[in-house]
């Protein structure tokens, strides 16, 4: 099994690459590079964790109080369209975003006590999923798999 564990902030190398990719995307689509988009993308990539638009806005707002919530929201949507961010909705029904690399693709363990989100990928499960789909004559395009429970820390002191 491929283990990712908790996300950590990406290195500056990857961040630079991703911001380059965003710039290309913008140019390609006839959109503009702006100070706001640059700062929001940087902060988002730096934080690295699954984060809501609201949470990211709060972080941004500490440093750049002139940047509004709507712009943060729209920039996350933009990052999603450009393939740099994934939109995820877990059991609390909030939309979270996470930095995404080209081939990146994984599932989640979610702690019902502390809310921590851990990532994993298990190819055996994916192969079985494909087999299940096939049995139904179903053409599988994507999937969503979440395990809810208690993380190592929380299961003990609970």
Residues that bind a second copy (CB under 8 A): 1, 3, 5, 89, 91, 93, 109, 111-112, 118, 120, 122, 124-125, 128-129, 132-133, 135-152, 155
Asked if 86 interacts with DNA (CB under 7 A), we say no
**For DNA, which residue of 28, 66, 103, 135 counts as binding (CB under 7 A)?**
66
Longest dimension (CA), the chain: 54
Which of DNA, a second copy, none interacts with 151 (beta carbon under 5 to 8 A by kind)? a second copy
Asked whether position 5 contacts DNA by CB under 7 A, the answer is: no
- Annotate 56-92 with DSSP letters as a single string: HHHHHHHH-TTS-HHHHHHHHHHHHHTTSEEEEE-TT
Q: In the numeric block, which tokens belong to residue 54? A: 């609201």
Distance, in Å, from the CA atom of 86 to the CA atom of 72, rounded to the nearest integer, reads: 15
- Which of the choices DNA, a second copy, none does residue 94 contact, using the CB cut-off of 5 to 8 A by kind? DNA
71 binds DNA, rule: CB under 7 A: yes
**42 lies in the binding site for DNA (CB under 7 A):** no
Contact between 154 and DNA (CB under 7 A)?
Answer: no
Strands (E), 14-61: 51-52
- Per CB under 7 A, the segment of 48-56, 104-112, 113-121, 133-141 that binds DNA is 48-56
Contacts (Cβ under 8 Å, ≥6 apart) of 94: 52
Q: Under a CB-based contact definition with an 8 Å cutoff, are residues 43 and 55 in contact?
A: no
């Amino acid at each position: 099994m491929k283990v990712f564990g908790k996300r950590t902030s990406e290195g500056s190398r990857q961040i630079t690459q991703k911001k380059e990719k965003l710039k290309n995307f913008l140019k390609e689509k006839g959109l503009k590079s702006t100070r706001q988009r640059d700062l929001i993308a940087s902060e988002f990539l730096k934080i690295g964790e699954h984060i809501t638009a609201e949470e990211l806005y709060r972080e941004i707002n500490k440093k750049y109080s002139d940047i509004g919530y709507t712009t943060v929201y729209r920039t996350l949507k933009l990052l999603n369209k450009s393939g740099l961010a994934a939109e995820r909705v877990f059991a609390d029904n909030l939309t979270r975003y996470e930095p995404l690399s080209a081939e990146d693709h994984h599932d989640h363990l979610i702690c019902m006590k502390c809310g921590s989100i851990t990532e994993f990928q298990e190819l055996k499960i994916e192969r079985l999923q494909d087999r299940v789909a096939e049995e139904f004559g179903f053409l599988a395009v994507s999937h969503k798999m979440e395990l809810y429970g208690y993380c190592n820390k929380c299961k003990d002191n609970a």
